[in-house]
Amino acid sequence: MKRRTKDEQKTNKRRTKDEQKTNKRRTKDEQKTNKRRTKDEQKTNKRRTKDEQRTNKERTKNEQRTNKERTKNEQRTNKERCEPHGQMEKERTKDGASRTGRWRKDEQMTVRTARTDEEKTKKISSPQSHTLLFGDFSQGEGV
């Protein structure tokens, strides 16, 4: 077997080292690209699921909104049916927001006004207001 010269041995060793280096670099690059690809795929998959979830939420929100509007419209028709009974109806403000608990002006019940001093003293001094809660104090009975 012929012996190789030092130059040949060096070139062979260098070639193998370079090849090893390039091979290692290639595997590292491949690993990096593979990792990046999987991360990107995972990110895109996550984004896709988030988008799908968002669209599903928006779909359910829209369905809920339409259902609420349907029930509100049905309630409005029911309220219109029950108008002579003095049902409460939502008033719309200028900006379109609805306020609950407002009576319609034409169906307004008795409005509480500020009581005068005479009315206050009448109600306080009248024994009837006390008989319901505490008994009749004029005859000495009490709780």
Cα 90 to Cα 102: distance, rounded to the nearest angstrom: 6
The sign of the torsion formed by the CA atoms of 48, 52, 57, 59 equals positive
pLDDT at 8: 72
Tell whether the model's pLDDT for residue 3 goes beyond 70: yes
> What's the farthest any 2 CA atoms get from each other in the chain?
139
CA dist 122 and 133 (Å) reads 17
Q: Over the stretch 53-110, which tens digit does the pLDDT of each residue have?
A: 666 666 666 666 666 666 666 666 665 655 544 444 455 555 555 555 555 555 555 5
50 Cα distance to chain centroid: 16
Share of the chain above pLDDT 90, in %: 0
HSE-up (13 A, CA, CB side) for residue 121: 3
Mean pLDDT of 18-32: 63
Phi, psi of 91 (to 5 degrees): -95, 140
Cα separation of the two ends of the chain: 127
Per-position b or e across 13-35, b if 16+ CB within 10 A of its CB: eeeeeeeeeeeeeeeeeeeeeee
Angle at 97 between CA 102 and CA 103, to 5 degrees: 10
Tell me the average pLDDT of the chain.
Answer: 60
Burial 121-138 (b: 16+ CB within 10 A, else e): eeeeeeeeeeeeeeeeee
pLDDT above 50: residue 44: yes
pTM for this model (two decimals):
0.14
Whether 18 has a pLDDT exceeding 60, the answer reads: yes
Q: What is the pLDDT of residue 42?
A: 64
State what percent of residues in the chain have pLDDT above 70.
5
